[in-house]
């Protein structure tokens, strides 16, 4: 049943928003429908698919598993914070170059997951990237190109591009 609304201050992408919210409203809904930040998508609402992944104080978080009120006093970053205007970041460009998206519904979740992961694990190789990427679901790509895009970005940020793909050998 409806409960009393609370005044909540959310810091999202560097801007503070004062919002009157029900305690039961989840962060993904508030980002999307109260703040109009519809780049964050909702795929399962039970914390498995990862389409709703955002950064909360730099950590990748399922925004469908967090009540918006829990995000008070934290810095929330969504896909809309990537890039300047029409300019894509290196990570976004790598997704494009490697065809790491098809329908694009899961993409924001993978971008924010990767953004958080690469900040924490800048030295990650392709296997570690694959392990990290396995946190989220994509139904279109078969993941290979997503792994390539993230591993390529990691390598480029370390200054050693082009060593991303891996050949299987017996």
Partner 1 sequence: MSGEPARDARFDGGRGRWVGASVPRREDPRLLSGRGRFVDDVHLTGMLHAGFVRATVAHAHLTGVDLEATRAVPGVVAAFDAADLDLGDVVALLDRPPEEFTPTTMPVLARDKIRFVGEPVAVVVARDPYAVEDGIEATVVSTDPLPAVVSEQTALAADAPAVHDEAPGNVLLDVTMFDTPGVDEAFAAAAADGIVVDLVTHSARQNALPLETRGVVAAWDDHDDQLHVQICTQVPHQVRTVIAHSMRVPERTVRVTVPDMGGGFGQKCVVGREEIAVAALARRLDAPVKWIEDRREALTAGFLAREQRYRSRAAFDTDGHITALDVDIACDMGAYSCYPFTAGIEPLMAAAEMPSVYRVPAYRVRARALTTNKAPSAPYRGVSRPQYVLAIERVMEHAARLLDLDPVEIRRRNVITEFPWTGINAVTYDPGSYLESLELAETIMRDEGWTALRERALGEGRFVGIGYCCFSERTGYGSEAFAKRKMQVVPGFDISEIRMDTTGAVVVTSGTMNHGQSHETTLAQIVAEKLGIDIAQVKLRQGDTERIAYGWGTFASRSATIGGSAVSLAAGRLGELLCRIAAHLLETRPENVALDGEGGVVQLDDPTQRISFADIADVAYLRAHLLPKEVEPTLSATASFDVPGDGTFSNATHAAVVELDPGTGRVEFLRYACVEDCGVVIHPQVVEGQARGGIAQGIAGALYEQVTYADNGEPSAASFIDYLVPTATEVPDISVDHLETPCATTENGAKGAGEGGTIGAPATVLNAVNDALRHTGVELDDTPVHPQTVLAALDDAATSREEATA
Q: Tell me which residues touch partner 1 (CB under 8 A).
A: 1-2, 22, 24-25, 29, 32-33, 36-46, 48-49, 51, 78-80, 82-83, 86, 88, 92, 95-97, 99, 101-108, 111, 130-131, 133-147, 165-166, 168-170
Q: How far is the CB of 47 from partner 1 (least distance, A)?
A: 9
Listed residue (1, 12, 4) closest to 34, CA to CA: 12
Complex with partner 1: residue 11 or 135, whichever CB lies closer: 135
The answer to whether residues 7 and 19 touch, using CB atoms and an 8 Å cutoff, is yes
How far apart, in whole angstroms, are the C-alpha atoms of residue 111 and residue 165?
A: 19
Complex with partner 1: residue 73 or 165, whichever CB lies closer: 165
Query: What distances in angstroms separate CA 18 from CA 23, 28, 96, one per listed residue?
Result: 14, 16, 36
Complex with partner 1: residue 36 or 159, whichever CB lies closer: 36
């Amino acid at each position: 049943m409806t409960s009393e609304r609370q005044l909540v201050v959310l810091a999202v992408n560097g801007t503070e928003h004062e919002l009157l919210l029900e305690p039961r409203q989840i962060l993904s809904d508030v980002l999307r429908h109260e703040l109009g930040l519809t780049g964050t998508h909702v795929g399962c609402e039970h914390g498995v698919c990862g389409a709703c992944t955002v950064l909360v104080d730099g950590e990748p978080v399922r925004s469908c598993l967090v009540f918006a009120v829990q995000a008070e006093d934290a810095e929330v970053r969504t896909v809309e914070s990537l890039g300047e205007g029409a300019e894509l970041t290196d990570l976004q460009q790598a997704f494009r170059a490697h065809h790491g998206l098809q329908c694009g519904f899961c993409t924001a979740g993978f971008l924010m997951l990767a953004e958080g992961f690469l900040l924490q694990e800048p030295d990650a190789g392709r296997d570690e990237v694959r392990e990290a990427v396995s946190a989220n679901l994509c139904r279109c790509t078969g993941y290979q190109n997503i792994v390539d895009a993230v591993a390529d970005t990691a390598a480029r940020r370390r200054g050693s591009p082009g060593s991303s793909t891996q050949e299987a050998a017996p």
